[in-house]
Structure 1
Amino acid sequence: MTNTIAVSGNCLCGAVKVHTIISNQLGACHCGFCKHWGGGPLLCVDSVKTPQFEGEENITVYSSSEWAERAFCKCCGSHLYYRLKSEKVHYSLSVGIFDDLQDIEFVSQIYIDKKPSYYTFEDKTENLTEAQVIDLYFPKN
């Protein structure tokens, strides 16, 4: 069941702080961008309102594709979020910036066909392939 949680978090060095409301559902992305960005899957929770950031001058936003951007702390390199450029409210926030999250459920994995064979998650999740993600978020007109 989807619930929402008010959370606050920060990057590793504390230069960036975030306050928002998130879904209690955790997702993993196994795409090549996420693998190159962090050395493995991106584990994230979705905001349900626009996050409020403190220390915005310490946030670097990288345009990783025509449709998405990724942000990190320019002081310590902590991953902060992934966001579709077309979305104004929705942010996929790195779960690692929040301490002591309770009642989070691991529910989905995307780009499952791109997941390398050297790790596996035990949890049973909804799994979408690259083609399914593209069809879902970028339908052809």
Structure 2
Amino acid sequence: MSEKTGSCMCGAVRFTATDVPATFGACHCDACRRWTGSAMLAVTVPQDKLTWEGEAQIRTLQSSDWAERAWCQRCGSALYYHVTADGPMSENLQVPIGLFDDANGFTFDSEIFIDCKPDSFAYAGEREVMTRAQVFAKYGAPE
């Protein structure tokens, strides 16, 4: 994909992302469900491919031993999830797909923490799925 722009709900924080992948995934872990009110549907974007406007409005919380979450302090919109522990995901941000000004053209390709997914959630189509244990084994996060 090419360049994509987006913002929080109130517009105080905006971003431009380049070389945005054409895929997104869902995370069903307890923290993402509580943070977003549902599964977190997000696009993996390398940090160095994102530029931010309104950075003074961004707040972060170290939400686990290995990751942080960011939000707009003005409207509360979730801005990204970031693995802070060393490893294959530490250079990326998980940006909620709903923040993009144009969220068309993405393909839903993965679900993680599938064993934590409420039985009332159902998505159509085939995609890669990983359990909590598989995610921690693949990315090296502690259990």
Fold equivalence (TM over 0.5): yes
Residue 20 in structure 1 maps to residue 17 in structure 2: yes
1:1-141 equivalences under 5 Å are 4-21=1-18, 22-50=20-48, 51-85=50-84, 86=86, 89-138=91-140
SS at 1:91's partner residue? strand
RMSD of aligned residue pairs (Cα, Å): 1.6
Gap runs ≥5 in structure 2: none
Q: 1:31 deviation in Å?
A: 0.2
TM-score by structure 2 length? 0.89
Which aligned segments of 4 or more residues in structure 1 are displaced greater than 4 angstroms?
none
Superposed displacement of residue 99, structure 1: 2.1
> CA 1:14 to 1:128, structure 2 compared with 1: closer, same or farther past 3 Å?
same
Shift of 1:118: 1.2
Q: Aligned pairs, how many? A: 137
Supply the distance in 1 between the matched residues of 2:138 and 2:29 (Cα, whole angstroms): 15
Query: Which structure 1 segments of 5+ residues have no match?
Result: none
Could you say what secondary structure the match of 2:121 adopts?
A: coil
* TM-score, normalised with respect to structure 1: 0.91
Give SS of 1:5's match: coil
CA–CA distance in 2 between the matches of 1:111 and 1:131? Answer: 8
Structure 1 position 125, deviation (Å): 1.1
Change over 3 Å in CA distance of 1:131–1:10 after alignment to 2: same
Percent sequence identity over aligned pairs = 37
How far apart, CA to CA, are the structure 1 residues paired with 2:132 and 2:107?
A: 22
